[in-house]
Structure 1
């Protein structure tokens, strides 16, 4: 069977080859009538048209692939983000190659080298702490990239992520609205600006409410969180001479482990201690207690990041800084029978 060409599709659809190329490569979509685009795609499917990616790569020096490097692809947040990015990239005619840095700057560099061998057209990066010099080097090479989720103030480049300060501030405000006055936080001890902003939001919300923060209320852990650390932190917070009555957790794993500990200790939530976390996990539904969490606009984040990267691939433009707003979600799990 002979290979179906753009010319074959154009003749069958009664349009120009250029128009067929625009539609099948998702270009100039806002300038093409939907009816015409639908007709071209229908004809292409009818003729069993298959893109010749190899030939196109040789002709355009593009591989139609994007590299995505996150800290841990197994983390529920990054797994969801990767899924959304992959879906949007596919709609735009691109494939995504995934890699995890495991919060290790050395491994991050190795993953960048790997992406270079695959000749990806551009990169989406959630880099580990201590990666500023590496990011600056990427800029020097001219490889287009967009930072996603994690922002580095010392590196002037495109960024799409959450307004972490505002999200944390609102989380604490929710606890204050429940008449909680001794609000603790389990956060991160890290130079990552994104995570520092969550702590800053926590501090400012209490300060603006006229509450003086006690040093013992804030527990800061490394980025690789485990249950033993959360248990020790929660025990310390609950054994204070005046125990906390509210807790803000800076990540989904911290929230999950905290709920697990409170459940095991039969601590009533939210009567004795109210909890607000960052992001959610399916496991949260196992705990028979009301809680709240900050929901990040993951799909919007992934879609905007892809769109910005493709914009950089096609035209030279100024760096864009996009901070999205989170949503506070209240959960009231059904009572188990």
Structure 2
């Protein structure tokens, strides 16, 4: 005889929410959502777990109107998002993923850019607060303290993406920047090259973690002068990368291998090399954070860390679903990345 089903979960009662399905099946909300969205295979969710979730949903159903059971204190069905720079392909892609997922939940995403300027970030958050947003997602450009900016809305849920500032009172969801940069640097060192690292402002936590990963990989190979191979700019921009390339060329020609901390820095690096040398030398090995299909057309040996914007966006919304009454203190969730290698084309 089957055990009795709790009243709230019986088939003749209201269908359970995603969160209730997760609790009943002893799975995370993200796991349940991936199973129901047909993405379980992509994220290697076991067949046994998929069966448990599907069997439960077959019996009880689930609430299709996600917005009706999530963010219970919202007033306007809006979520605020502040990113540093929409010209950065990674942040533009992340924004697009969040907008799509919000629309599926009956929510509207209100977006703003800080331009990597703390004062502009403060203004954007203050303005979003006055518009009655029900939750806030920020890729911060400074140590985040948003209570004074949000005023009467200071108890809304807040989650940070990409950048884990020490001492921040909020949960951050990010890629494993340290570990992924160790892997990226190892791959280039295994190819027989000692790379230089062209990166944005090292005061940004994501960049600091990548520099630390670069250093850890170099120290394993007894490269003692690794710090001299790190070249930092004040901004994550095409111009900043070009300025660094000019300095490297002045030291005696292009390096044999270069790692860039973003696609913007990679673009600036390649453009300046082509401008100065007449062509992009095909024997330079490149590594970069974030990936783009245009890299397929390069003759160079390239390595890329592809961050999962879909996963980061889904994890952020799941966090907001589970914490509708405001932040629960600091925490950190790491999202997996994909390592991409493209061999040189001669």
Between structure 1 and structure 2, the one with the greater Rg is 1
Kept after mapping to 2: 8 A contact 1:263/1:287: no
Q: Secondary structure at the match of 2:132?
A: coil
Kept after mapping to 2: 8 A contact 1:88/1:303: yes
Matched, 1:28 2:20: yes
Matched, 1:296 2:307: yes
Q: Which residue does 1:64 correspond to in 2?
A: 77
Question: Out of 230, 233, 249, which is 1:221 matched to?
Answer: 233
Kept after mapping to 2: 8 A contact 1:296/1:326: yes
Q: Which residue does 1:95 correspond to in 2?
A: 108
Whole-angstrom distance in 1 between the partners of 2:329 and 2:102:
22
Question: 1:197-208 to 2 correspondence within 5 Å?
Answer: 197-208=209-220
Kept after mapping to 1: 8 A contact 2:306/2:337: yes
Kept after mapping to 2: 8 A contact 1:66/1:95: yes
Kept after mapping to 2: 8 A contact 1:219/1:233: yes
Q: Which runs of no fewer than 5 residues in structure 2 stay unpaired?
A: 1-10, 25-55
What TM-score does the superposition give when structure 1 sets the normalisation length?
A: 0.76
The Cα offsets for residues 247-273 of structure 1, whole Å up to 9 and x where unpaired, read as: 11111111122233344523533x3x2
Q: Secondary structure at the match of 2:111?
A: strand
Whole-angstrom distance in 2 between the partners of 1:220 and 1:239:
17
What TM-score does the superposition give when structure 2 sets the normalisation length?
A: 0.74
Matched, 1:165 2:178: yes
Q: How many residues align?
A: 301
The Cα offsets for residues 208-231 of structure 1, whole Å up to 9 and x where unpaired, read as: 11112265522211224134x323
The Cα offsets for residues 14-65 of structure 1, whole Å up to 9 and x where unpaired, read as: x86x616x56xx6635567347648x97xx9xxxxxx99xxxx9x9652222
Whole-angstrom distance in 2 between the partners of 1:309 and 1:126:
15
- Kindly state the Cα deviation for residue 185 of structure 1 after the two structures are TM-superposed: 0.9
Worse-superposed segment, 259-268 or 321-330: 259-268
Worse-superposed segment, 161-170 or 89-98: 89-98
Whole-angstrom distance in 2 between the partners of 1:144 and 1:210:
45
Matched, 1:260 2:284: no
Q: Secondary structure at the match of 2:14?
A: helix
The Cα offsets for residues 155-175 of structure 1, whole Å up to 9 and x where unpaired, read as: 132110011111111111111
